[in-house]
Amino acid sequence: MPHRSIHWFRKGLRLHDNPALLAAMKDCEELHPIFILDPWFPRNMKVSVNRWRFLIEALKDLDENLKMINSRLFVVRGKPAEVFPQLFKKWKVTRLTFEVDTEPYSRQRDAEVGRIATEHNVEVIQKVSNTLYDVDRVIAENNGKPPLTYVRLQTVLASIGPPKRPCSAPTKENMKDCRTPWKGSYEEIYGIPTLEELGQDPTKLGPHLYPGGESEALRRLDLNMKRTAWVCNFKKPETEPNSLTPSTTVLSPYMKFGCLSTRTFYWRLAEIYHGKKHSSPPVSLHGQLLWREFFYTAGAGIPNFNKMEGNSVCVQVDWDENKDYLEAWREARTGYPFIDAIMTQLRTEGWIHHLARHAVACFLTRGDLWISWEEGQKVFEELLLDADWSLNAGNWQWLSASAFFHQFFRVYSPVAFGKKTDKNGDYIKKYLPILKKFPPEYIYEPWKSPRSVQERAGCIIGKDYPKPIVEHETVSKHNIQRMKAAYARRSGTSGEQAPKSPSNKKGVKRKAPSVADLFKKK
């Protein structure tokens, strides 16, 4: 008997490389592609208006692409466990398909939906396509534990072999014996939401730099892949955190929402690399996809991965609670122009360069303000278009030297780091126009400028722009000692667990050698 299928879109908001969608179409007479607006997400995390806009655009694009193959998208409102029994009965469903999601809430939700499906005699098919590999298999191949170093991950993946090639997108041919019933009344019930329906204020939107959706994702992928020399020579640490236009692909938001398949990206790169000299992991573009895999695997295999307490890989640190410091950092009022420019870009545009994330994360945590990485994680979760649970938690632990990276004595300077790639401070002038008339020698440290210079610039430090919230040279040295003590408590010794120099710690090679040059003590 032909099936009546629901395909449940979650992260994989695309038609290409969507094996679960293809499974829904097989031997199917009626297909309902759905997206559920699950109230759990806005209740449990803040989401910026910029990211809501991206999601809405991705859903609109998905609906348009489904229409091209004679189907439609149904946007369902409500808790999955409550809406599925209704849908199963209403549409006489016999099969439910969806992409595997390894986040804690997702696993719990999907297990509950699976039980409900069984009660209704609905077959459930899950397919891996959000990651390059089945992360549960990676963990199993590593003796039941997630690899805790990039090199170890590479070793495990080498034993598994290359990732699967992506599936083709479905066409009208896949739908020739299948229909998607759509009534006029469905537009009001199952239509794509507006920002207003989601409780968002459209007047607070930032510039529209990264439109959501699979069509835009594939267009941007094609544009980037045409730059074959750039692709082959790409080394992440050598890109610029403060260039006026992004020095990387900015495909991360499209991968977070699944508008772009990571396997499609991987194999497009493999085609370009073939027969050519090219950079290698961890710094290459392939290497960036493996970093994503690394943190996804860690997030799937380490309980309480997004918290300090109860997290087996995380150093327990006595972070301060200082709401004033946290708000000053979040609102770009630290008095350090490089840090404030980055946080302004984040708040307005929803994206910042990977190394810019390094700078502001180090500043908030072990470098200067001694605020918990969990607080920074929440801010990024709200404001980043590409905020991805596993990557966000993993990178914050890395940058705070709480896990994975242990050279806590390497601290980013909030002054010197930005100067390396932008001596004139053009990036600062773009995002902090109040400082645009300061000469280059003072643009990173305007508090050091004579009063006459401040008056000519039309910006008095302490009045029109804040003085530095802390003195970096002093607090960074103090915080290194605090980190040293935290490591000593963990190792149960009077000394500290981390290396005194990069040469006597295994696994240091996980970072490209040139990354060390990005750190500058003042």
Binding residues for FAD are 248-252, 288-295, 386-388
Structure tokens at 310: 């109860």
3-class SS at 4? strand
Task: Name the strand (E) or helix (H) holding 494.
Answer: none
Residue with tokens 């990173």: 444
- Binding-site residues from annotation: 248-252, 288-295, 386-388
Buried/exposed code over 8-38 (b: 16+ C-beta within 10 A; e: otherwise): bbbbbbbbbbbbbbbbbbeebebbbbbbbbb
Query: At residue 509, what are phi and psi to the nearest 5 degrees?
Result: -65, -10
SS (H, E, C) 390-437: HHHHHHHHHHCCCCCCCCCCCCCCCCHHHHCCCCCCHHHHHHCHHHCC
What is the DSSP code string of 296-332? Answer: HHHHHHSTTTTSSTT-TTS-----B--HHHHHHHHTT
CB 326 within 8 A of CB 338: no
Query: How far apart (Å, rounded) are the C-alpha atoms in residues 389 and 103?
Result: 7
Of 333, 344, 352, the closest CA to residue 241 belongs to 352
Please state, in angstroms and as integers, the Cα–Cα distance from residue 61 to each residue in 58, 212, 216, 359, following that order.
5, 8, 9, 35
